[in-house]
Structure 1
């Protein structure tokens, strides 16, 4: 699936992925981060992965390492040769790779995390296209931006007034360039056809012979399950203002297979997490994240008052 996003055919498909007015200058040659979500489904009595979504956006790369450390401390019986990482990567190697991707040749103080109100961080433009922030009474130049801003969330916050525009020509390097958030996203799903994908169509291209009830209707540019319609109809499709900004993805049947102490088994998705430093020829699979659910969908909003749900991590024997 990741290999298919690196073809000329995919580049042509992704060329129209960015909404008007949101394209950011100085796009990098490739994304620095890529995550691919598979639902664990039941097919013919067996467990099978099915592609649910993918995104060129930084996920919880640091937190998953911290989580594994906490699990080892709480459950010392976990064998040391069981790991969440891939390719024989040790913890120190993992951290070095993240540093190389995020910091590169810059000092840590010249790299900032950009997120919506992480700590009401103050950043301002000065001296042409350069960005600075205040630290201990002095101005520190920003050379690289580790970007975790989701445009959909930003656009729904008119109360926020960023001190610079993403569309400006800034003298910074984006670590996780914002354009890739759109290019590799739900917009990619109709293009991707492989053994573990589900059929997907843009709403304006949905075949007349198909039944909408067999599909899930998703907005292209939202996150955390916002706007998803599990029961679409022809009438709903005809009522869409911008049908090219919606997709229909064939429904899959999540397996209820994770035993819990309280009885009901949980469903799960597994996120495969890739890092792609600037000077590497290919993305590197480094870690995973598991999301569990007992609701109709994944996510906090669909699992309120439920237990044995939420984020976790999958372990496998090193070298297997």
Structure 2
């Protein structure tokens, strides 16, 4: 994207350096990274960085509206509604496709958003390792809002730990140590000193939660939640085997699970602006657009691109059994702006916000990039391609 940095990187790139990147990444981890890491970082030019920041701010203003909870009350499936919800999400992730406007200039377009954590730990490690292996100038950083590594990690700590000791906060997911994102779990544990606990390891007594460490039973006061309910939805008897976390337990959630639904595809129809593709709830459509080829169908309650219909027809819409759980969204045409040895590659930039208790608003803290040559961003659409996968977005 940034032409001079891209030219310099490509001229000095070699497969040996890429192998070195993967070796260095994996050598410092308990297990190899389970997803594809791209060969290159994304060098984000200043003007596009500023557009991303402006686009993110427009969306944050919607989330800050006093009636936002009221607008999104129907987003939460009743069976996954958790009591004791707090007043704001602690994490916000905004995914923007890198596109071109009518004049041919770079322009961001919102793809999705989520009120849920992302790779807040891994991006620090990936960016540092990338810069070391490829000898990238230290003026290029993944951080935003004037943060550097130290101030970023302090903000992350303040968000996740709050007033509690690391031993009182657990990072929790179902089968946590088998998740593809376990690399991020390990790094977060390393940076903050918090333990990784699987859902099945939680213990309850009188409404309080506990976990065991080296034979000692410890009280959990905060859960850094990485569990997405879709992952346990296909097991109707799950809470016969583990603690029913839907109960009014004496524990704080970081972030509360209800925010996963409030800030999601459900939010898209409420957003307006130059950076927002037209989105409508299917059950609200009075008339279908004439150019259906210019739209995609997205299920509200899914993640990682599952269930998305790229080639939409009138028949596929009419056949939906639950149109209230789908949105029709204008297609975003990614531009192949990252030059690789085999041609242009599409890119997506995820802005990652942190919102610790006590702050009036979220802080845009760091970003990540994903590269694609398939129909969509994501592993299942990019098999057998090179110069695709997770990456570091670097700005000045």
Query: Which residue of structure 2 aligns with residue 233 of structure 1?
Result: 313
Instruction: Give 1:88 deviation, angstroms.
Output: 1.8
Instruction: Give 1:112 deviation, angstroms.
Output: 0.8
Note the aligned Cα RMSD (angstroms). 1.4
Q: How far, CA to CA, are the matches of 2:378 and 2:236 in structure 1?
A: 25
Query: Which residue of structure 1 aligns with residue 270 of structure 2?
Result: 191
Give runs of ≥4 in structure 1 deviating > 6 Å.
none
Name the SS of the counterpart of 2:369 in structure 1.
Answer: strand
Summarize deviations over 1:219-252 as a string: whole Å, max 9, x none: 0010111000011222211211111100010012
Structure 2 unmatched ranges of 5 or more = 1-58, 178-196
Query: Which residue of structure 1 aligns with residue 245 of structure 2?
Result: 166
Structure 1 unmatched ranges of 5 or more = none
Q: How does 1:77-96 map to 2 (within 5 A)?
A: 78-96=136-154
Query: Which residue of structure 1 aligns with residue 217 of structure 2?
Result: 139
TM-score, length of structure 2 as denominator length: 0.77
Say which structure is richer in helix.
Answer: 2
Q: How far, CA to CA, are the matches of 1:217 and 1:166 in structure 2?
A: 32
- Decide which moves more: 105-114 or 181-190: 105-114
Residue 298 of structure 1, aligned match among 377, 380, 393: 377
Q: How far, CA to CA, are the matches of 1:89 and 1:27 in structure 2?
A: 29
Instruction: Give 1:259 deviation, angstroms.
Output: 0.7
Residue 333 of structure 2, aligned match among 247, 253, 258: 253
Residue 359 of structure 2, aligned match among 272, 280, 284: 280
Q: How far, CA to CA, are the matches of 2:146 and 2:158 in structure 1?
A: 18
Query: Which residue of structure 1 aligns with residue 299 of structure 2?
Result: 219
Name the SS of the counterpart of 1:308 in structure 2.
Answer: coil
**Residue 125 of structure 1 contacts residue 163 of structure 1 at CA under 8 Å; is this kept in 2?**
no
Query: Which residue of structure 2 aligns with residue 113 of structure 1?
Result: 171
Tell me, yes or no, if structure 1 residue 12 matches structure 2 residue 90: no
Q: How far, CA to CA, are the matches of 1:12 and 1:214 in structure 2?
A: 31
Instruction: Give 1:8 deviation, angstroms.
Output: 3.0
Query: Which residue of structure 1 aligns with residue 111 of structure 2?
Result: 52
Instruction: Give 1:10 deviation, angstroms.
Output: 3.0
